[in-house]
């Protein structure tokens, strides 16, 4: 193989890697901004742009993230999102964030973000975090975080956070998508509508059928 041939192959390999990376993230903006028009009925990959003439500072603003949300949920945590639904100006910018409030021993249960990597920092308290790598290794990587610590959850991997103390915990997380999405594993599998066939879940989790039916009743509410 000649040097020129090697260079051509290298060029295409790099080009494909760049293209693959680009397709894996939010669409890049082709103008200063593309404020989402939530009133539009047009369906596109993302959200339709609002006429720039009618854009104001309100389209780029959100207030109230300093306030603790009510975290008295079933699992003892609550997520306050700040994505393109709350700030229309995030459309095409490929970034968003959330505030997570935890009650003592509260859990943000195992979930994934199909469109984003997450970068989390603890503002107050002590938080146990972890994620599981993909098949076939399924390696569990975990860490105990204290105030000021930062941890990354790679895109698409199952992860969780749990309050390890008797005091409330506050965390902030940035996500590499305007609309990262979230799939809570238990809710998706046991709370789907319509329900997944009991036989499927029984065999997948090696559970008794009565246990599966009980979980489906619990998560269907």
Residues comprising the binding site for oxalate? 108, 113, 118
Q: Which residues are annotated as a binding site for Mn(2+)?
A: 111, 113, 118, 159
Helix/strand/coil percentages in the chain, nearest 5: 25, 25, 50
Q: Please provide the size of the chain in residues.
A: 221
Q: Which residues are annotated as a binding site?
A: 108, 111, 113, 118, 159
Full DSSP string of 42-93: ---SS-PBPPGGG--GGGG----TTSPP---SSSSEEEEEESTTT-GGGTTT
C-alpha dist (Å) from residue 1 to 5, 6, 10, 175, 216 = 6, 7, 13, 44, 60
Residue whose C-alpha is closest to residue 84's, from 119, 54, 127, 115: 115
């Amino acid at each position: 193989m000649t040097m020129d041939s090697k260079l051509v192959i290298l060029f295409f390999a790099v080009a494909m890697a760049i293209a693959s990376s680009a397709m894996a993230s939010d669409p890049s903006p082709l103008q200063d901004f593309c404020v989402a028009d939530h009133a539009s009925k047009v369906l596109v990959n993302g959200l339709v742009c609002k006429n720039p003439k009618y854009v104001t500072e309100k389209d780029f603003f959100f207030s109230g993230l300093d306030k603790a949300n009510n975290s008295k949920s079933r699992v003892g945590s609550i997520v306050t999102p700040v994505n393109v639904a709350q700030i229309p100006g995030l459309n095409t910018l490929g970034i968003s964030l959330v505030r997570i409030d935890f009650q003592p021993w509260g859990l943000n249960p195992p979930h994934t973000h199909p469109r984003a990597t997450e970068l989390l920092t603890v503002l107050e308290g002590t938080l146990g975090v972890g994620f599981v790598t993909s098949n076939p290794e399924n390696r569990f990587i975990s860490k105990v975080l204290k105030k000021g610590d930062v941890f990354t959850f790679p895109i698409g991997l199952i992860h969780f956070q749990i309050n390890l103390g008797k005091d409330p915990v506050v965390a902030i997380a940035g996500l590499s998508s305007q609309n990262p999405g979230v799939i809570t594993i238990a809710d998706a599998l046991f709370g789907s509508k319509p329900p997944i066939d009991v036989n499927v879940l029984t065999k997948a989790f090696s559970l008794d059928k009565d246990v599966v039916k009980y979980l489906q009743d619990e998560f269907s509410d």
